[in-house]
Chain A
Amino acid sequence: MYLYDEFDRTLLTERVSEFRGQVARRLSGELTEDEFKSLRLMNGVYLQLHAYMLRIAIPYGTLSAVQMRRLAHVARKYDRGYGHFTTRQNIQFNWIKLAQLPDAMADLADAGLHGMQTSGNCVRNITTDQWAGVAPDEIEDPRVWAELIRQHVTLHPEFSFLPRKFKIAVGASDHDRAALRIHDLALRMHKNGAGEAGFEVMVGGGLGRTPFIAKTIKQFLPVRDVLTYIEAVLRLYNQYGRRDNIYKARIKILVHDKGGEQFGKEVDAEWQNIKDGSLALDKDVIADIATRFQYPDYEKLLDNPPELKAAQADARFATWHANSVSRHKQSGYAIVTLSLKPIGKPTGDCTADQMDKIADIADRYSYSEIRVGHEQNLVLPQVAQRDLPEVFKALDAIGVATPNVNQISDIIACPGLDYCSLANARAIPVAQEISKRFAEPNLAKSLNRLHVNISGCINACGHHHVGHIGILGVEKNGEEFYQISIGGKADENAQLGTLLGPAVPYDDVVDAVEDLAEAYLALRERPDELFIDTFKRVGVEPFKERVYATR
Chain B
Amino acid sequence: MPLVKGSRIAADTFTRVEDDAPIPEQGAVLVPAARFLADAAELMQRAAPVGVIWPNNMDVSELVPYLDKLALVALVFPIFRDGRAYSQARLLRERYAYRGEMRATGQILRDQFVFYLRAGFDAFDVVKNADAAAFEETAKRYSVFFQPTGDGRLTVARSRLKLHGHRDPAAKRVTV
Contact = CB atoms under 8 A, between A and B. Distances in A.
B160 A277 contact: no
Given A158-B119, A278-B170, A285 B157 contact: yes
Interface stretch (A10-18, A135-143, A215-223, A364-372): A10-18
B141 A156 contact: no
B18 to A, nearest CB: 26
Contact of A159 (B83, B114, B130): B83
A282 B169 contact: yes
Interface in A222-243: 231, 235, 238-239, 243
Given A121-B81, A157-B86, A288 B148 contact: no
Interface string B137-176: 0000111111111000000110111001011011011111
A235 B144 contact: no
A155 B84 contact: no
Interface in B82-99: 82-84, 86-88, 90, 95
A18 B141 contact: yes
B68 interface: no
Contact of B159 (A7, A235, A239, A277): A7
Given A7-B159, A157-B115, A157-B149, A277 B172 contact: yes
Nearest to B167: A284
A39 B111 contact: yes
B118 interface: yes
A320 B34 CA distance: 71
Interface in B120-135: 130
A161 B81 contact: yes
Contacts of A151: 146, 156-157
Chain B contact patch, size range: 35 or more
A282 B164 CA distance: 15
Contact of A273 (B109, B142, B176): B176
Chain A contact patch, size range: 35 or more
Nearest to B56: A239
Contacts of B161: 284-285, 288
A356 to B, nearest CB: 32
B66 interface: no
Nearest to A150: B146
Contacts of A285: 157, 161, 169
A282 B114 CA distance: 27
A35 B90 CA distance: 25
Nearest to B77: A161
A38 B170 contact: no
A523 interface: no
B109 A7 contact: no
Contacts of B115: 155, 157, 160
Nearest to A35: B109
Contact of B87 (A17, A158, A278, A282): A158
Contacts of B145: 155
B166 A284 contact: yes
Contacts of B141: 14, 17-18
A162 interface: yes
A38 B174 contact: no
A159 B81 CA distance: 11
Given A155-B142, A157-B86, A157-B118, A278 B172 contact: yes
Contacts of B170: 278, 282
Nearest to A122: B83
Interface string A241-284: 00100000000000000000000000000000110111100101
A282 B166 CA distance: 11
27 contacts: A10-B144, A121-B81, A121-B83, A151-B146, A152-B146, A152-B147, A156-B146, A156-B147, A157-B86, A158-B119, A160-B86, A160-B115, A161-B83, A162-B83, A231-B176, A238-B86, A239-B87, A239-B88, A243-B82, A273-B176, A277-B174, A278-B174, A282-B169, A284-B167, A284-B169, A285-B157, A288-B157
Given A157-B119, A282-B170, A288-B157, 5 more contacts: A22-B111, A154-B146, A159-B83, A243-B84, A282-B169
